[in-house]
Amino acid sequence: MCLDNLTIRDEVEGGAVAGVKLWVNNCRFQGNGISTAAHPGEWTPAWSGGQYWTNSDITDDQNAVPGGVQLARNVHCTRVQDGIETPKLIVNCTWDTTAPFNNRHTDFISWNFLHGIPQDNSIVYNVSGFNLDMTGILFKDTDTLNNAALVNVFMDYSSPAIFGEHCNSLSHLLLLNVTSMDALYWAMPRTTMSNVSVRGCAFGVMGIYAGVILGGFTGYAADRPDISRAGRF
């Protein structure tokens, strides 16, 4: 199914046939504020054939790019609640101004509460987020994350990014040219991480799991000199 060259102002509802793909191209989803929904975020589980979003805008909407979308390319989100949940391939996308509604927790890039569902093959390339009132990156309460790359990513967010809280393993992760205005914390022991490369990145602060209480912040050692700017472990 293809939605092409449409402007949608009311929430789209309806079921989907298992195995059918949804392609959204050159569409504009215009909500009536971040407490409203004008695009099919809730369709994600139903469209088991996958969702593909290209050359579209989402504005004044509760939803942004649907979670688990197979491809989002040239999609621009303005004044929305959500970021990118369980990304597959996100390319040349922007977020400008996010805010939670009714104290709802939101993240910019996240793999969260996915126990029993291993996460594999995630690429976020050339993505920017400005004025983000949310957590930057969250890998939490999820068994495993393998083969993920964040390349040329800029995040201006209000809460620290956290990798690995209550997670079992992290393997083959690349952070290349990732810039953050806040902190990034590794919340898992080094023994559970392998083939992690951080190159050309800048964070307000970076900390790594230490297994002790330091500075009142359990489990992190801030500004470890060996990885505070770049490293491989």
Taking residues 159-188, report their average pLDDT.
87
Can you give the pLDDT at residue 13?
57
Can you give the pLDDT at residue 219?
43
Per the CB < 8 A criterion, the answer to whether 142 and 164 are in contact is no
Coil, helix or strand at residue 191 = helix
Taking residues 122-133, report their average pLDDT.
94
Can you give the pLDDT at residue 179?
92
Can you give the pLDDT at residue 187?
83
The domain spans of the chain are 83-232
Coil, helix or strand at residue 155 = strand
Q: How many residues does the chain have?
A: 233
* Residue 170, beta-bridge partner list: 145, 193
Alpha carbons 56 and 62: distance in angstroms, whole number: 16
Can you give the pLDDT at residue 14?
53
The one-letter code for the residue type at 151 is: V
Arithmetic mean of pLDDT over the chain? 80
Max CA distance (Å), the chain: 55
Does position 19 have pLDDT exceeding 60, yes or no? yes
* Contacts for 215 with CB less than 8 Å, ≥ 6 apart: 222
* Contacts for 17 with CB less than 8 Å, ≥ 6 apart: none
Closest CA to 123 of 148, 155, 154: 148
Q: Which has more confidence, 78 or 63?
A: 78
DSSP calls for 98-137 = E--STT---EEEEEEEETT--EEEEEEEEEEEEEEEEEEE
Give me the percent of the chain exceeding a pLDDT of 90: 36
Could you read off the pLDDT of 21-56 as tens digits, one per residue? 889 999 998 888 777 666 555 444 456 678 899 999
Strand 71-80 vs strand 2-4: parallel, antiparallel, or unpaired?
unpaired
Does position 218 have pLDDT exceeding 50, yes or no? no
Does position 228 have pLDDT exceeding 50, yes or no? no
Give me the percent of the chain exceeding a pLDDT of 70: 79
Can you give the pLDDT at residue 17?
61
Alpha carbons 39 and 8: distance in angstroms, whole number: 7
Closest CA to 206 of 190, 222, 217: 222
